[in-house]
Amino acid sequence: MEKKINSDIIIVGGGLAGMLTAFFLLQHDSSIKLTLIDNGFYSAAWRIAAGIINPVAGKRIVKTANIEQLLSSLHHSNSLLNQYTGKNYFYPMPIVRIFRDDSEQLSWNKKIQREDYLGWLSPYTSTSFPIYTPHGAGIIHCGGRLDIIGFVNDITAWLSMHCTILHDTFFPDTSLFSSNQLIIMCYGWEMMYNPLWSWLPFAPFKGEVLTIEMPRDFSQSPILNNGTYFLPLKNGTARIGATIEHDTLTYTPTEQARQELLTDFTAMTGIIPHVLAHHAGIRPGIEDRYPVIGKHPVHSNTMIVNGLGGRGALYAPYCAHAITDLLLHNAPIPHEYSVERYYHRFLP
């Protein structure tokens, strides 16, 4: 793309973060001339993601930092779009955390007694669906699933009536932008090759997921998680995921990942499922596992929203709110999410 774009703001990337940023900006001021550029890549991370919202995660059973604010942004985004479509995109669901070993159970037992985890965790009690819990299990509350595909598609439909959407490829070395244009870059892991941002400690990783035929007796199951998740859907299918691979960044599904996911699922349920589809995507990660949001240290009209990793459904609404508030109100980005925490790495 080499042509001049006549807009006040240009957003590069049509995933959750980019779409929501455009949506929030135009909600605030519909007169903004905004162009969104997206290449429509079929294996973009948001197209592969299950949209699971898990507030307490990891082997050490840790509540996500700023989880209250993250969930508030998610619910606000869902409510805002609902006003236009009448649809709901977030489905609350409990998560049954199945411990893989005694150390995970020990971590859980410590956390469940803490006041700051009150309301987030509760003991597991047997249910009608059969699962194996040799090391125990617990229930995580306030989580669920965001219908990412429906969410992005309906935001896109709304944006198409309020701004310009270009289905094209963005090249970072072009001279598209004048000094009075603002550009927000949020187009995923390949930003590590953008010379404006290559100084950031990008740490992308590949993830693979399976779509399976819904096993009998599991249609009313909550989300199951033993390191691999099981997510029941309403159309007779379910999702199993996701692997993590840092070294081989390709979009090709592998037999090794397939077997890893099936082994974990069978360990939870005793079932060998019928696989309907197998997909791979690459998530845009940052070294410390937090997103990066904010202005370039030299080019102040160039901004970034990136590094949402495997938790894009949870982080994207908050990140979009944060960059919008920075632009409209000069509100500071919290340090753990601000790109300024890496300014020391920049060599002009």
Type of residue at 159: L
CATH number of the domain within which 23 lies: 3.50.50.60
% residues pLDDT > 90 (the chain): 86
pLDDT of residue 126: 76
Compute the Cα dihedral for 101, 285, 258, 279 and give only its sign.
Answer: positive
Question: For the chain, what is the domain count?
Answer: 2
Return the structure tokens found at 315.
Answer: 């982080």
Q: Please check whether residues 225 and 134 belong to one and the same domain.
A: yes
Q: What is the pLDDT of residues 219-233, one digit of tens each?
A: 889 999 999 999 999
How many other C-beta atoms can be found within 10 angstroms of the C-beta atom of residue 227? 16
* Residue-level pLDDT at 175: 54
For residues 13 and 16, what is the distance between their CA atoms, to the nearest angstrom?
Answer: 9
Same domain membership, residue 221 and residue 132 = yes
Statement: residue 200 has pLDDT above 60: yes
Strand partners, 183: 10, 302
Tens of pLDDT, residue by residue over 263-274, are: 999 999 999 999
Quick one: pLDDT band at residue 80, thresholds 50, 70, 90? very high
β-bridge pairing 229-232 and 237-241: antiparallel
Query: Which residue segment(s) compose the domain that 137 sits in?
Result: 94-142+205-283
Q: Is residue 55 part of a domain?
A: no
Alpha-carbon distance of 209 to 32, in angstroms, equals 39
Q: Residue 182 domain-assigned? A: yes
The confidence band for 3, taking pLDDT boundaries of 50, 70 and 90, is low
Domain end, chosen from 254, 283, 312, is at 283
Token pair in block for residue 295? 């202005």
| Pair 266, 212 in one domain | yes
pLDDT at 245: 96
Same domain for 132 and 220, yes or no, is yes
User: Does residue 70 form part of some domain?
Assistant: no
Spatial contact of 139 and 99, defined as CB atoms under 8 Å apart? no
Res. 37: pLDDT tops 70: yes
209 and 339 assigned to the same domain = no
**Residue at a domain's end among 283, 299, 333:** 283
Contact 98, 223 (CB under 8 A): no
Residue 38 domain-assigned (yes or no): yes
Residues 36 and 121 in one domain: no
CATH classification at residue 262? 3.30.9.10
Specify whether 263 is located in the same domain as 196.
Answer: no
How much is the pLDDT for 178?
52
Q: Identify whether 100 is part of a domain.
A: yes
Q: What is the mean pLDDT of residues 282-303?
A: 95
Q: pLDDT confidence of 83, banded at 50, 70, 90?
A: very high
- Cis, peptide link before residue 242, omega less than 30° from 0: yes
Rounded percentage of the chain residues whose pLDDT exceeds 70: 96
Q: At what angle do helices 312-329 and 16-28 cross, to 10 degrees?
A: 40
User: Could you give the CA distance from residue 219 to residue 143 in angstroms, rounded to a whole number?
Assistant: 18
Domain end (from 250, 283, 316): 283
Amino acid 16: pLDDT: 96
